[in-house]
Chains A and B, each alone.
Chain A
Amino acid sequence: MNTADFKVLTGEMVEQIEALLPRYPNKQAVTLPAVHIVNAALRHVPLQAVVEIAEILELAPAEVQDTLTFYGFFKQDQPHGRTRAWICRSISCHLRGGDELLDHLCQESRIRPGETTEDGSVTIEYAECLGACEHAPCILAGDELHKSVTKEDADRLLASWK
């Protein structure tokens, strides 16, 4: 496809990105915020979006791609699930069953960490320290933190994400 024919960034996304420009002395600083804006809307940041972000920020697409891929956070090939659930596996959660919780959720949803269920409802990810260690083991799903999660809680959560 000719990339010029088809835009993935909507006018609204472009507006949101441009609104951030005055906050920083150069345009490159808006890279991560721009990528977040696209990711929040599309649940991934395809290469075409990278090209369009680069155009707005007057950068080479490779510069945006370089930053984006550094974080290992943004998916590019296909959108993450409607719910993206981060299961903490760092030490405090690990000591209270975080790994077992991650295994359980993966088994129940028949996917591996980083993958999305076939119906597109859930992506399961492991997280490095969610910073909610007093509530271990914990899960961050979307903007919601689930505390002291048991396997039964996890089953209920999984059902609610479907």
Chain B
Amino acid sequence: MAEFEPVLLANIDRDDSHTLRGYESQGGYNGLKKTLKKCSPDDIVNLVKSSNLRGRGGAGFPTGLKWSFLNKKDHPIYFCLNADESEPGTFNNRILMEEDPHQVLEGIILSCYATGATTTYFYLRYEYPHAWNRVQQAVDECYEAGYLGKNILGSDFSLDIFLHRGAAAYICGEETGLIESLEGKRAWPRIKPPFPAVEGVFRKPTVVNNVETVACVKQIVDRGADWFKSMGVPADPSNPRDAGSYGPKLYCVSGHIEKPGCYEAPLGLTVQELIDEFGGGVWKGRKAKAAIPGGISMGILSADEFDCPLDFSGPGKYDCLGLGTAAVVVMDETVSMVDVLHNCCQFFAHESCGQCTPCREGTSWALKMMQRISAGKGRLMDLDLILEIGDSIGIIPGTTICGLADGAAWPMKNAIRKFRDEFENYIKETNPDGCHETVPVPALNLQASH
């Protein structure tokens, strides 16, 4: 680990890192030039497959495998870049787009060459105007330099990239929500199958990849699959579904931390290492109480679980949902978990798209209960009601179309199960007379209502 050299963030501190000239001065687009001369698209697909690159957007699906599902008989093939980064605590993609947009673009061009896509829609969230300007400038530079457009660098390969701006909706980061939004409809995720690789945007085969994922593709093309696999955590041989966690990862750390920021390290770094070796420790010399391992959707780790490795299967072993976006949010000992859960519930109630009833109703009722608890009107039974919601909404229990509800459920389940005493004490102290109440609502007087 001591020998690890950042590659994804290697150039971000250079003044001209966002310009074509700056990017080319560091060897940028050499990988693309070589690829177009010497490699077939299948060579790149196989290279990415053999690197075991897994998507960096949250789900961790193997990228090469995703590409190989494309229905190549149907044309055109579309590529959507998922730059709708909205998971609370996450900002690694913003940094890549703002400071090194050409790395992202080269990754897109290589990915499109590999998959046969001829049009890219770069779906960028509304909240990133600076990234929008930087990416648009970089795209313009690429057209001028012949890296985009017809017959790129004299080859048979042509590609257009169009920026498409979101409108502040978290659900557009779900790949089929993104596709619906791009089509000009409300961003309601689709039932899968069919997966986008078979029927995606405009009913055509579509690849949807995350910003950091395509930046990894560029690095793999430059450095090879063996380099990528030289770091990280190998697959657990006793778990046939574990595809391993290889390569560098951009870790975000924020909240109650001395040096909040985005840091690059091999997959498998522990939460404690991230806090101490990169984040400069918990702020103000305080102790940590808890942390979010990969965006709030992934749940909550208590401070005694900070040995949790941040690889694709690490957080799952600590009852969290997964690695997610590897965005760690640190909370110090002064934090109220009631307050944290209220904040998480507020987010998901706001961002549920409203399509599936369990999610729409579950997230808003969980918020109402958390508001009641926060306001000193909580009942002990509310905790079990919230857990009942948490255990019954999402793809995992099978009640919703997309994973937003699973993400909403995990903070509920982890906060209450890992910090139950704190919740119970809060309710007892703030509502001593009513905390044992069990009747949810006064019985309706049906006669009087008619």
Contact = CB atoms under 8 A, between A and B. Distances in A.
Interface in A52-76: 57, 63, 66-67, 70-74
Interface residues of B, number: 54
B254 A133 contact: yes
Interface in A62-94: 63, 66-67, 70-74, 86, 89-92, 94
A116 interface: no
B91 A32 contact: no
A136 B184 contact: no
Interface residues of A, number: 43
A128 interface: yes
Contact of B127 (A26, A86, A142): A86
A91 B255 contact: yes
B260 A71 contact: no
Contact of A92 (B88, B126, B127, B183): B88
Interface in B124-168: 125-130, 133, 160, 162, 164-168
Contacts of B87: 129
A16 B169 CA distance: 24
Contacts, number: 136
Contacts of B327: 133
A74 B88 contact: no
A73 to B, nearest CB: 4
B261 A32 contact: no
Contacts of A133: 88-91, 252, 254-255, 260, 327, 329
B267 interface: no
A90 B254 CA distance: 12
Interface string A105-136: 00000000000000000000001111111111
B347 A90 contact: yes
A36 interface: yes
Interface of chain B: mostly helix, strand, loop or mixed: mixed
Contacts of B167: 32, 35-36, 71, 73-74
Contacts of B260: 92, 133-136
B227 interface: no
A23 B123 CA distance: 13
A30 interface: yes
A29 interface: yes
A91 B329 contact: yes
A143 B130 contact: yes
Interface of A: 23-26, 28-33, 35-36, 57, 63, 66-67, 70-74, 86, 89-92, 94-96, 127-136, 140, 142-143, 145
Interface of B: 85-91, 93-94, 125-130, 133, 160, 162, 164-170, 181-187, 202, 252, 254-256, 260-262, 292, 296, 327, 329, 331, 335, 340, 343-344, 346-347, 350-351, 353
5 contacts: A32-B184, A73-B167, A129-B86, A130-B127, A133-B89
